[in-house]
Amino acid sequence: MRDVLPVLGRWYAAGVPFGLATVVEVSRSAPRDPGAAMAVGPDDEVVGSVSGGCIEGAVFELAQAVAADGEARLETFGYTDDDAFAVGLTCGGEITLLVRAVTPERDPGFGAVADSVAAGEPVTVATVTDGPAPRGAALAVWPDRALGSLGTSGLDAAVTADARGELALGATGLRHYGPGGQRREDAVSVFLQSFAPPPRMLVFGAIDYAAAVARIGDFLGYRVTVCDARPVFATPRRFPEGVEVVAEWPHRYLRETATDERTVICVLTHDPKFDVPLLTEALRRPAAYIGAMGSRRTHADRAARLAEAGLTAGELSRLRSPVGLDLGARTPEEVAVSVAAEIVALRWGGTGAPLTTTEGAVHPRRS
């Protein structure tokens, strides 16, 4: 959804109705996660994807019909055993889509949501998918305000409170309520989609490997900053457009920079005068991933220096070093893929093993 919002915002501002299909629930080996979106707008223009190609044709027709008649629909698509060529997911999973018409009259908060996402402001969108409430009704929730309604004041109040909790976690998923917002009932299904600001990737050491890691970090959706104490190397022209470049001592920069449980920290300096004070700071603050480049000998020396600096065994256990998965990487670009693979595996609990050697669902259900 984040990727298609700029286009949808333009359609919305122009007052052009469009059909918006959003994945609200998945099971087994579904190809896209909840929140994936596809829209059909003026002149049958299509943006986004909900399945990577399996059912887009059927969703196109459904979104056209919804945009024309304004009636929101909930549709489930899955693999068809009797006819493998019928509309369905050949990967064997199921996805449930909410398809609704979006106009300023139907969804007065949509434009403000698009503006907030573009500005990096956190917002959650709550949409009724099923039950005795208007299907497709939407409520936009910010930390300090809300816009729209799901039909009743009680439901609005309960969902607003939960949406702010989900927003703090950057979480997306279905929640269930009673018609008046009762939390122990499940008559009304509401899809909460959080648009938190992109997670940070902090890359320390302005070397060739840093440029490759920054590029793949940007590709994965991180807001990337490269920091190096040497101004001659910390220059924007050496890095991809959109990557922030800072000339500052790494530990000083990190000390003044907020991190959270989604932040990725990559230390590529492999120089003790930079590494030790930087990692001493990094390993004592929230982060999803802290990796450091260097050989096993470099890692052993670095770990000993960090222990001498007072870090505990628990703090040192957070350090991923040598950085990356064992791919046999040699070039900066290959090393960047190795680092990115480790970050993704750690995020989702992957093993890093070839899928040909594993069993079970390729896309396991995320908790």
Per-residue pLDDT tens digits for 197-230: 788 999 999 988 999 999 999 998 899 999 999 9
Check residue 366 and give its pLDDT: 47
Confidence check: pLDDT of 11 > 90: yes
Q: pLDDT tens digits for 122-173?
A: 999 999 999 999 999 999 999 999 999 999 999 999 999 999 888 877 778 9
> For the residues 66-84, what does the mean pLDDT come to?
77
State the distance between the two ends of the chain, measured CA to CA, in whole angstroms: 20
Q: 191 has which bridge partners? A: 127, 174
From residue 77, how far is each of 23, 54, 55, 100, 244 by CA, in Å? 11, 10, 8, 16, 42
| Choice between 118 and 86, residue whose per-residue pLDDT is larger | 118
Check residue 54 and give its pLDDT: 73
Three-state DSSP class for residue 60: helix
Structure tokens at 191: 């899809």
Q: 20 has which bridge partners? A: 39, 100
Check residue 28 and give its pLDDT: 65
In which band, very low, low, confident or very high, does the pLDDT at 85 lie, cut at 50, 70 and 90? very low
CB 152 within 8 A of CB 133: yes
H-helix or E-strand containing 100? strand 94-102
CB 115 within 8 A of CB 10: no
